[in-house]
Structure 1
């Protein structure tokens, strides 16, 4: 398996969940992976899980909302690995609360992690991605970037922003002729450490599953396969597209 052989990939939010599952698949497919997260302990535990034969993996602690951290991480990648072929803007979180109960600080926190980080990552990584000649950006949106749900106002706004920002990125890169493609992934209800508390509530879990035609929660590894496809040359004619992996939620 070598769909990413010789490539270097940067994944944010890589200490757990979809980010870690994606890092594992990328390494299995021959990529050297840079795992970025603000969870230093999680990173320390994640890196040894990756296949390492002939590969160089890095764990970099960063806050994706801080521009200085992005500049440092991209500089480190260039100095130590010499290239960047794939950027996966995966870091994110949400708050399950009504608009009336959401403070401005809470609103800004959700947008900063989910949307500002995608802008910052794209802006700082683009020169190195363009230098690779076949760069790929995969941005993690959500079904909430396509369809609304109650009590998810800030999250919906952020993920919808990621959805359209990805398309703008794709168009600008195509116009520049820099070889960089940009696509978004839109997961449905997926079991991860971040969603564990919510899905552990029987009534809430039943509500989510009642609106999922497949009748079960998704797994992080299933989303990682979609990210792998968009990061690899198998999707070489795709840019500005959205790949929905939601068990049929948005088909209704």
Structure 2
């Protein structure tokens, strides 16, 4: 067992490395299955959350959906419910403000006893995007984005990790970041949003470092997903700006915007066992936007 110290903190104990965690005998199809596990999704009422909830249930998991609205209001929520029935999945929805620590604790206490399977995954989609010239943009808006996109993401990851520890269950977390965490976006003023998503990248690495090999904590893998521009109702208004459609499509190598369904495969990969040696990483799915 190794001890590690940087001179400023007490020495930490880490698990001994094992020769291999892989299992070559498992069928490839199993590596992308999520059977007999529960996945928590924040921002589950949004365009990305609902689409991924369906995909996760199609892969065999039960889903706990969390979002601000008292009840689901997504136009495709019927499709989410139909997917639960079709795949014999347990689907529940709870209203939650991820910036409220007390509410997180109370909500977890409500749904944990109702689960059929242990919590083995978190998909943190909840986020806020506000934009405006930085000479005029209110600092309160900047704080709000940081509170939701960074602090809220940390708080929900912490609550989920505590459940992993309580049940001594390993699991995988996917924190939704953005390609905007890598650089500034042409044509839009989003200093606060970009800063918050860069912070999610760093949060991912830091949590992965803590939870990947610490003695007394089950193996928790933490990765992030960085989507490119997505064509949704949420981006429709921005695309009405003259020249914005050409700007956004021309900024990536595939010369088009993505659709929400194109993030199903990447998320299932990171939540499932196919990514067993992946942690502390960001999976950028941006059509080559950041690769120019």
Q: Same fold (TM over 0.5)?
A: yes
Change (3 A) 1:244 1:102: same
Find the partner of 2:264 among 221, 224, 236: 224
Query: When you count helix as a share of all residues, which structure comes out higher?
Result: 1
Question: Which whole-Å deviations, capped at 9, do the CAs of 1:24-47 have from their partners, x for residues lacking one?
Answer: 100000010011111324269624
CA displacement at 1:113 relative to structure 2:
1.7
Distance 2:93 2:136 in 1: 37
Deviations 1:86-123 (A, max 9, x none): 11111112112121121111111111221111111111
- Answer with 1 or 2: which has the greater Rg: 2
Given that 1:139 and 1:182 are in contact with CA atoms closer than 8 Å, whether structure 2 keeps it comes out as yes
Partner of 2:183: 147
Question: 1:65 matched to which residue of 2?
Answer: 99
For residues 134-173 of structure 1, the aligned pairs below 5 Å read: 134-149=170-185, 151-173=189-211
Which residue does the alignment assign to 1:89? Answer: 124
Question: 81, 106, 110: which one pairs with 2:141?
Answer: 106
Which of 75, 84, 90 in structure 2 is aligned with 1:51?
A: 84
Out of 200, 203, 228, the position equivalent to 2:243 is 203
1:16–1:193 Cα contact (<8 Å) kept: no
- Report the RMSD for the aligned CA atoms in angstroms: 1.8
Aligned positions, number: 252
Q: Corresponding residue for 2:52?
A: 22
Distance 2:72 2:119 in 1: 25
| Aligned counterparts of 2:57 and 2:242: Cα–Cα separation in 1 | 36
Moved more, 173-182 or 23-32: 173-182
Matching of residue 129 in structure 1 with residue 167 in structure 2: no
8 A Cα contact 1:213 1:248, kept in partner: yes
Aligned residue among 14, 21, 36 for 2:66: 36
Shift of 1:202: 4.3
Structure 1: state its 5+ residue gaps.
none
Greater than 6 Å deviation, 4+ residue runs? none
With 172-181 and 135-144 compared, the bigger mean Cα shift is at 172-181
Alpha-carbon distance in 2 for matches of 1:62, 1:148: 31
Instruction: Quote the residue 2:13 is aligned against.
Output: none
Please list every run of 5 or more consecutive structure 2 residues that lacks an aligned counterpart in the other structure.
1-28
Whether 1:115 aligns to 2:155 is: no
Taking structure 1 as the reference length, the TM-score comes to 0.93
Aligned pair partner of 1:9 in 39, 58, 64: 39
